[in-house]
Amino acid sequence: MIGYTMLGTRDMDRAEQFYNALLAEMGCGQLFKADRFIAWGDDSGQMFCICYPYDGEEATVGNGVMIALSVASAEQVDALHAKALELGATNEGEPGPRMDTFYCGYIRDLDGNKLNFFTPLKTQ
């Protein structure tokens, strides 16, 4: 249902380096880039984007806003969480099971945006 998500940034070059390295771990690459906007994606047609806000104001973090990125396994959650921290993100929640249905790891990117890497837990 969701075609793309977009997060604001205060520093496009810094955000581009962070997301190039992080999203490559998920098999995603840059699809296109403009002065105020960069989009990454894969064969699914879904995109993850960063931008300078259209209104010209400084990008801010939305309270209660989070983007969850679906991955294939708990091992990939662990690896992406660790990679994000290595790239300068802050830990917002160690990887582990949540509500007996998901395995998640939470971070805040370099601009303070909250992301969650998750995979459903297998049920018997």
CATH number at residue 11: 3.10.180.10
Reported pTM: 0.89
- 58 vs 18: CA distance, rounded Å: 19
Q: Which tens digit of pLDDT belongs to each residue from 66-122?
A: 999 999 999 999 999 999 999 999 999 999 999 989 999 999 999 999 999 999 998
Angstrom distance (rounded) from CA 114 to CA 12 = 17
Task: Give me the domain span that covers residue 36.
Answer: 4-53+60-120
**For the chain, what is the domain count?**
1
Alpha-carbon span 1 to 83, nearest angstrom: 28
pLDDT band at 124 (very low <50, low <70, confident <90, very high): very low
CB 49 within 8 A of CB 38: yes
Helix axes 12-24, 74-86, angle to 10 degrees: 150
Q: Identify the pLDDT of residue 63.
A: 85
Q: What is the pLDDT of residues 39-60, one digit of tens each?
A: 999 998 899 999 999 999 999 9
pLDDT tens per residue, range 8-36: 999 999 999 999 999 999 999 999 999 99
